[in-house]
Structure 1
């Protein structure tokens, strides 16, 4: 590892801000940065609603020699949902048609704070614990460079020779880095969690033929074990964002927290996906996104009565591109921002309330209403009406059929 250290040291890093969880990997990275670069390390731990106590991360950083003023722990739950999750849900973004982008959408927010803290403390570099095989390295670094084109980014997994869990544990033991007891065994999978979702990857899940163990899930009951009686929920929207549940106004993070509870109780939001990583390989992941699954269904339901057909179909056309940009790490790109402007324009009159029925893993639309509804009973009724002349359809059909008839005649029919 000396050669790597010498090469890294040539970057002359004086102070680095590390995205720090307090786990084995980032704790080893913290010590490795100190030894390799001889630099001052600042830690940043984000409360994204992952459901874990974050104070242990502070204590562990202090134990590893980080000064209290260089330990940053920030509650970013409201910012996460308001400025990242909600804009994404206005677009109904799904990667490869199914994935709600729970991990992807958190990375630009973490990078934003890394760069901001670097500016606050005078650091010349940021560091992350993403591996050289995954998408997160791309997301962290594209975001960092977009926000500060001069920042240095250190990715230890692409530099060091600690290429196995055995080597990580040995390194930690040699330097007296505290290790959780369960880290000595081979964990069946790795996880990433925030207020939007939790993911499970690796180990037992690497064979796409193997069914996940039911005991793995933490945010939802099995649909088979969900209550027999359905749960009804009403979600209120303003300009495309959910602002209340069952008549109670809530903040963005409160909305998602409540929908997670309701969805999880009813077995909603599980996904088993083999996806295409940006770096080129396929990977298998299991995701639990109960609140997001409910929110997506509700948003599409309110759009169904408030969006013009052309606007709705245009949104559906650009959505795969928008979702791919987020998945690949281009949140701060001009093209994502341009699509966002289009999406947000369509949401100006997406107001109203949706009633959903949650039942044994299903999200069923039970009703929707809006003061801006484009649904007109006097036009669509099968009863007699005075506003629509059905004879008009004859000319409409003939004009639309003209090119088809000409084509058929040209083929000799």
Structure 2
């Protein structure tokens, strides 16, 4: 085994220029190369080059390593080896000059003080080791503001973007931890766009997130859900469904992905009332049983069911009949419905076309007027239809028990036992 340190032939001109410039006191190690060979006379590298990874954690934006990371990015993109060596040597020369000027008188004083205690002279000198390299002494700036003093959201976005750009051609695996941290909605939108732009086809990109926006924009088909020693991948989703949620990134798909069981309802009033009826039936909220009640807010029921089916989630979906035969409303959804895992519950047409008439048909009118706080002069059905959310809130807060529509009762029992 051998280690050979010798002048690098690539820097012959730089070495000659340095040596002819007076009497150098510093060895220009930047212009030397180190070759380490094994007993088999093969060059030994510091690490295998077959697989490289980059971990980008936006939460540690104020660490010194985060600053160093940006410096390495800037250097790799804009400086070649000769320029880096020149800067390093100039930086060490400045530290050497300081030892010969500012510290000279101090060293003379210290040598006199300690002469009787030591055989050698004690003095101060600037550290020339790699621990104080020029990279660790230079701070990147953003619009003339030191990087460490910029906002955390700005730091996170720059850190991720520069890191991915640096590793685009040299790293096989890129891991990003919660890119949404400290960012506004607009800034996060820009950052996600940059992530998509910078991710190369030859890279494998892993992102952990608590943001449905990030999940939807980067593609639901790439979601890998890991739970209880099992994993589920959504690669089988219809590309049109993936594009659908990508165009609506604000929808909380992550709730469906992480819930143990899901109840899909049409709107806010349905969500509020289902929660209250579930409490009346079982004595506690659905979330305590791992059941998340999700309002579709006008989204396609088929899209939501397709996502839940890909995740193999137990689902109880409810919807209004709107005066149509409930059987015909479920015809286009049969591909994602199963008797024991995912079922659709629709109110009978004779009981009313929407949730409000269904409630009226199932309860005493006087009780509903008392709970809602409306007089006999107001038409009950009209008032409830015109004030859907307010009516749901008043029923949810009421100390009196209102009977749930039959299809809500059936949905609650199904998802509770699923």
Shorter chain as denominator, the TM-score bin is: under 0.3
TM-score if structure 1 supplies the norm length? Answer: 0.24
TM-score if structure 2 supplies the norm length? Answer: 0.24
Answer 1 or 2: which has greater strand percent.
Answer: 1
